[in-house]
Amino acid sequence: MNLTRRSFHGAAGGLLLTGCASIRLDTRAAAIAELGSTGKLRAAINLGNPILASREPSGEPQGVSVDLAREAARRLGLPIELVPFNSAGNVVEAVKARQVDLAFVAIDPVRAADTDYTAPYVVIEGAYLVRNESPLQRNEEVDRAGTRIVVGRGSAYDLYLTREIKSATLVRIPTSPEVTNQFIAQKLEVAAGVRQQLEADAMRLNGSGGAGLRMLPGRFMVIEQAMGVPKGRLAAQAWLSSYIEEMKASGFVAAALQRHGIEGASVAPPRAHS
């Protein structure tokens, strides 16, 4: 009797394992169909965010998002096409138009109308840059009448500040990497963007004997960077969600950040399960 019961449970367990494996295979197959509908995986790479990507001396894109895109393509058995963009706004438009199959963008409720996300893989900070002589000392002081904040159009900072700013004025320019240059050229009061980009700009301009710039302490927002797919590609979202959790847990994301010399960004925590 015990032998029969053990045999039954063993067989049932085997069926369950086989079923789980079949589900994983089915999910992967469906993800391949959605992500590789053109015969390749078209991955949008935002060169406007130095945390995510930059160019090698050869001109080829590099960075944590590039590494994640290439590894995803390898696992899916698809050839990779890296599609570079200079701003997050342009990436979002490409996702909306289904000109790319996946993208690396900040999670934002406005973008969710056209994009389905994974959980975040890295968390970065949005910060403010001002001149040394500015009376502004804290992030909370920025939102006042007469203060003009320059920001990259369509960036996570633009979307967030559009919702949050009540009295200051937003000045939108085409790409985030040009924020500091336009801040100086237009004699604006505040520049908003990725902390690392603004710190690098301040160091460059202060070192050249010019601008006299400083960061406001702390951050005005936390930005969760995730992988996204065009709305409705649920199999692709499901497969990429499992993939990104594995990449975080295995140390892949942390190693990529270290390999590319990225400081100030941290690996996002594991996805909370309900």
Tell me the pLDDT tens digit for each residue of 51-86.
899 999 999 999 999 999 999 999 999 999 999 999
Give, in order, the Cα–Cα distances in Å from 44 to each of 32, 78, 82, 146, 201: 17, 15, 6, 37, 25
By the 8 A CB rule, do 250 and 128 touch? no
Give one word for 54, left, alpha or beta, with left for phi > 0 and alpha for psi -120 to 50.
beta
pLDDT band at 209 (very low <50, low <70, confident <90, very high): low
Average pLDDT estimate for 217-232: 94
In the chain, what are the helix, strand and coil shares in percent, each to the nearest 5?
45, 25, 30
Q: For residue 115, what are the β-bridge partners?
A: 230
Domains of the chain by range and CATH?
2-121+225-267 (3.40.190.10), 124-222 (3.40.190.10)
pLDDT in tens, 2-56: 444 444 444 444 444 444 444 455 789 999 999 999 999 999 999 988 889 999 9
pLDDT score recorded for residue 251: 97
Tell me the percentage of the chain whose pLDDT exceeds 90. 70
pLDDT score recorded for residue 263: 77
- 3-state DSSP call for residue 111? helix
- The mean predicted confidence, pLDDT, of the chain is 89
**What residue has token string 């159009």?**
153
Could you tell me which of 56, 50, 72, 23 has the C-alpha nearest to residue 227? 72
Q: Does 252 have pLDDT greater than 50?
A: yes
Q: What is the pTM of this model?
A: 0.74
Please count the helices (runs of H) and the strands (runs of E) in the chain.
Answer: 8, 12
pLDDT score recorded for residue 208: 57
pLDDT score recorded for residue 18: 44
How far apart are the C-alpha atoms of 91 and 46, rounded to whole Å? 7
How far apart are the C-alpha atoms of 216 and 204, rounded to whole Å? 17
- 3-state DSSP call for residue 140? helix
pLDDT score recorded for residue 12: 44
- 3-state DSSP call for residue 214? strand
How far apart are the C-alpha atoms of 137 and 206, rounded to whole Å? 19
pLDDT score recorded for residue 255: 97
Which amino acid, residue 44?
Answer: A
Average pLDDT estimate for 112-136: 94
How far apart are the C-alpha atoms of 97 and 19, rounded to whole Å? 36
Could you tell me which of 75, 72, 91 has the C-alpha nearest to residue 83? 91
pLDDT in tens, 86-123: 988 899 999 999 999 999 999 988 888 999 999 999 99
Outline where the chain has alpha helix (H).
Answer: 2-35, 64-76, 88-96, 156-164, 179-185, 195-207, 234-249, 252-259
pLDDT score recorded for residue 23: 42
Could you tell me which of 52, 3, 89, 31 has the C-alpha nearest to residue 243? 31
